[in-house]
């Protein structure tokens, strides 16, 4: 691979939208509800193994999100019509999501430390 080709591929790296934990929490909803609804090119979707298995068993996702956002502006304006402050809600969801990731990270670090310390002591 030529140097210019490598440079082009590095410059072409896209930042990808992350949908985190798109499994269904409502037992009466389809287990692939969110994973199906949020499928789009150039996105990353984290999900539980059960959701991934359910998608694989169905062997179809329907259509993916439209590149132009589809009718999102219309849908968001309906929320506003019902008195929902979209910016406030978005901020709240981002804050809550960040806290969940921080909690998960802290838990992971705790487990690693609980394993690593005895290993380090045994090695010395």
pLDDT digits (tens, 9 = 90+) for 46-98: 888 888 898 888 876 677 888 787 888 898 899 999 999 999 999 998 999 88
Instruction: Note the pTM of the prediction, 2 decimals.
Output: 0.53
Q: Which of 16, 5, 63 is nearest to 38 (CA)?
A: 63
DSSP state of 71: T
Q: Can you tell me the distance from the alpha carbon of 51 to that of 32, in angstroms, rounded to the nearest whole number?
A: 6
pLDDT at 95: 92
């Amino acid at each position: 691979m030529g140097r210019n080709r490598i440079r082009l591929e590095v410059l072409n790296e896209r930042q990808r939208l992350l949908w985190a934990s798109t499994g269904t929490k409502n037992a009466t909803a389809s287990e692939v509800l969110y994973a199906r609804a949020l499928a789009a090119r150039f996105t990353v979707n984290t999900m539980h193994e059960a959701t991934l298995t359910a998608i694989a068993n169905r062997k179809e996702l329907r259509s993916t999100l439209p590149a132009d956002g589809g009718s999102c502006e219309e849908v968001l304006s309906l929320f506003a019509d019902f008195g929902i402050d979209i910016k406030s809600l978005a901020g709240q969801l981002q804050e809550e999501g960040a806290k969940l990731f921080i909690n998960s990270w802290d838990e992971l670090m705790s487990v690693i430390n609980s394993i690593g310390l005895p290993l380090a002591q045994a090695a010395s």
